[in-house]
Amino acid sequence: MLQIDDTIISFDVLEEQFVCDLHTCKGICCVEGDDGAPLEEHEVKIIEDLLPLIWDDLSEKSREVISKQGVSYIDDDGEPVTSIVNGAECVFTYFDEKGTCKCAIEKAYREGKTDFYKPISCHLYPVRLQRFNEFTAVNYHRWSVCSCARTLGNQLSVPVYRFLKEPLVRRFGNEWYEQLDIAAQEIKLSEGKS
């Protein structure tokens, strides 16, 4: 484990290789699962305010779920998560002409309709954050649906933290990320000397 400020980072974040391969997986991570994506408390209101901008991109089933229970619900851990359709698919998904699952919130961002990219937990995936009283744990989440991303990451030699530079900077800031990068390089050098 590595500590930077009030975060404890798993070495897997530095050492595992990962690059999303949307062409192969077709965005299955937004469809599979038992719960919705974790949300920060303030993100619920932001997403509620975005609904008119993304409503037409959502499926009829997604709109029905949102109309009945809202954009989120509280999971078994007492945390807000995105609402889901049929116990799996995020309500904010849509499918493009190639059958790839994508995020309607991110689409609105890319079209310049909002400055909110998407929930930070989605942007950070496969990194998951867990808050404790004194610190935040930054862990790599290994999921079978992402095997093609691990394969591509290994082919390109891209560690998780480098693939996730943009969302890590978004969440923790440039200075934090620079410290992480320096630590990763020092660890790699020390391993090379062993």
Residue 104 CB contacts under 8 Å (≥ 6 apart), including other chains = 54, 57, 58, 92, 93, 94
Mean pLDDT of the chain: 92
Segment 53-78 mean pLDDT: 94
Residue 33: closest CA among 167, 161, 128: 128
- On whether both 43 and 106 belong to a single domain, the answer is yes
Residue 72 has pLDDT above 80, yes or no: yes
What confidence tens digit (pLDDT) does each residue in 137-186 have? 999 998 888 899 999 999 999 999 999 999 999 999 999 999 999 999 88
Residues facing residue 103 across a β-bridge = 93
Out of 93, 118, 143, a domain closes at 118
What does the alpha-carbon distance between residue 124 and residue 138 come to, in Å, rounded to a whole number? 10
pLDDT value for 187: 82
Contact 44, 72 (CB under 8 A): yes
Do residues 152 and 175 share a domain? yes
**pLDDT band per the 50, 70, 90 thresholds, residue 192:** low
- Same domain, yes or no: 131 and 103: no
Q: Which residue has the higher pLDDT, 36 or 68?
A: 68
Average pLDDT of the segment spanning 30-40: 85
pLDDT at 131 over 70: yes
66 and 148 fall within a common domain: no
- Does 99 share its domain with 47? yes
Model pTM? Answer: 0.87
Domain extent at residue 5: 1-18+126-194
Same domain, 130 and 59: no
Q: Among residues 66, 85, 118, which one ends one of the domains?
A: 118
pLDDT at 145: 83
User: Based on the domain organization, do 152 and 189 belong to the same domain?
Assistant: yes
Q: Count the domains in the chain.
A: 2
Longest dimension (CA), the chain: 59
pLDDT at 194: 46
Determine the pLDDT at residue 175. Answer: 97
**Among 35-44, 85-94, 96-105, 183-192, which is the least confidently predicted range?**
183-192
